[in-house]
Amino acid sequence: MHRSHPRTKFRSGCPLNASVEILGDRWSLLIIRDMMLRGLRSYTQFLDSYEHIATNILAHRLKKLEAYGIIATHQDPLDGRKLIYTLTQKGMDLAPILTEMVLWAAAHEDTQNPELIRQIKKDKQKFIAAVRQKWVENSSHTD
Amino acid sequence: MHRSHPRTKFRSGCPLNASVEILGDRWSLLIIRDMMLRGLRSYTQFLDSYEHIATNILAHRLKKLEAYGIIATHQDPLDGRKLIYTLTQKGMDLAPILTEMVLWAAAHEDTQNPELIRQIKKDKQKFIAAVRQKWVENSSHTD
DNA sequence: TCTTTTCACTTGCAATTAACAAGTGATCTG
DNA sequence: CAGATCACTTGTTAATTGCAAGTGAAAAGA
């Protein structure tokens, strides 16, 4: 493991295509949401999240996200069984994408969490800054 | 066809989850990019695009995007064989998401199209406004 | 007019990926 | 030291994707 980068090249050089190849599936962004907005950090926490990802898919996605440098894995110093997953800087830089995706769905689909939407609409940049600040405070970013 | 909405409900009420369920695959956003940034409007044009989508997948994606109200389909008045695919307002509202995805990949992956990236970085809002203006001018939005 | 080409697909099949259920080994807790 | 918890792995089945070929309607060319 701990490949710094996957071996396959992208289908094209288009930056949007790169994003789609890295993030374009039904689970990756939800794992990142759980880390970024809900502060989740462990395998079982992700398993127990709203949408109920299958355990083998979760394992694969965590490996992929780590391979792309979006998350980092550390051992819990207090519990030898536990692993702690954290967002890297690259992972935190996904905040604007998640934010825009929340706004789009809130505007065009029937969704919940009006408080989150209200907060983002009120001041988008402030929201992103607050999320980033929380990450700076909580993380041991040795990555 | 022409269902106004797919019958299945989302896995959760989270707005990000809705976006992921609608857009989270390896092709949808690329079709939207081709329409939004490259002005493509027909089936064969999408087939011939950079990443070479398979024809059956393209047909499925177009149906899905239409079912979600992201694109609209019209007959070409000058050619009975041709169908013209256009973005709806809901589809145009994806511009900020695409823009942020381009910026993220440009910052963290090895990508091409530096001119596009320069333009977006220079003034993001102006870029989005220009894309939207082009759509207003070119589209027959009877949707 | 009649053949060929273009257009938007569909169909069939193989390969890949996702989802579900159960199990594993290391570690911790009571 | 028994049972629970942790982060997974290992089957197996279902669904999706990708590839190649084909189809029917409409247009263009000879």
- The answer to the question of residue A1 being in a domain is no
- Looking at every residue in chain B, the average pLDDT score rounds to 93
Is residue B143 very low, low, confident or very high in pLDDT (cuts 50, 70, 90)? low
* Residue A2 in this model has a pLDDT that exceeds 50: no
Domain limits at A30?
Answer: 15-138
In chain B, what percentage of residues exceed pLDDT 70?
Answer: 92
Rounded to an integer, the average pLDDT of A98-114 is 98
| pLDDT, chain A, mean | 92
pLDDT of residue B138: 85
Task: Evaluate if residue A18 carries a pLDDT over 60.
Answer: yes
pLDDT (average), residues B99-108? 98
**Residue pointed to by tokens 């220079």:** B122
pLDDT in tens, A35-72: 999 999 999 999 999 999 999 999 999 999 999 999 99
CATH code, domain with A131: 1.10.10.10
> How many helices (H) and strands (E) would you count in chain A?
8, 2
What's the CA–C1' distance between A52 and C19, in Å? 11
Dist CA A90 CA B106 (whole Å)? 12
Task: For residue range B58-98, list pLDDT tens digits in order.
Answer: 999 999 999 999 999 999 999 999 999 999 999 999 999 99
Report chain C positions within 7 A of protein CB atoms: 6-12, 17-23, 25-29
Contacts of B36-44 spanning 24+ positions with Cβ under 8 A: B36/B87, B36/B91, B36/B92, B36/B94, B36/B95, B36/B98, B36/B131, B36/B135, B37/B98, B37/B116, B37/B131, B39/B134, B39/B138, B41/B84, B41/B85, B41/B86, B42/B82, B42/B83, B42/B84, B42/B85, B43/B83, B43/B85
Inter-residue contact B139 to B87 (CB < 8 Å): yes
As given in the structure block, the two tokens for residue B8 are: 């299945």
Query: What pLDDT was estimated at residue B140?
Result: 56
Report chain B residues whose CB lies below 8 A from the CB of A106.
15
Question: Tens digit of pLDDT for each residue in B33-60?
Answer: 999 999 999 999 999 999 999 999 999 9
Report yes or no on B132 lying in a domain: yes
Instruction: Say if A6 falls within a structural domain.
Output: no
**What's the token pair of residue A34?**
């759980």
CA distance A74 to chain B (A): 22
CA distance B143 to A129: 37
Residue A35 domain-assigned (yes or no): yes
Residue B34 lies in a domain: yes
Residue B134 has pLDDT above 50, yes or no: yes
- Evaluate whether residue A104 is within a structural domain: yes
Contact B104 A116 (CB under 8 A): no
**Does any domain span residue B7?**
no
B85 CA, D21 C1': Å apart: 26
Overall number of domains in chain B: 1
Asked if residues B86 and B74 have their Cβ atoms less than 8 Å apart, the reply is yes
pLDDT of residue A51: 96
Distances (CA, A) of B49 to B25, B30, B65, B70: 17, 9, 18, 20
Of the partner residues B20, B97, B107, the one whose CB lies closest to the CB of residue A30:
B20
Q: What is the DSSP string of A37-100?
A: TT---SHHHHHTSTT---HHHHHHHHHHHHHTTSEEEEE-TT-TT-EEEEE-HHHHTTHHHHHH
Give ipTM to 2 decimals: 0.93
Strand C proximal residues, A:23-42, Cβ < 7 Å: 25-27
pLDDT of A140 reads 56
Contact between the CB of A55 and strand C at under 7 Å = yes
Question: Which of B26, B102, B117 faces A21 most closely, judged by CB atoms?
Answer: B26
CA distance A91 to chain B (A): 10
Output B138 or B71, whichever has higher pLDDT.
B71
User: Residue A139 has what pLDDT?
Assistant: 73
Please indicate, yes or no, if residue B113 is contained in any of the structural domains.
Answer: yes
Instruction: Work out the minimum CA distance from B138 to partner chain A, whole angstroms.
Output: 23
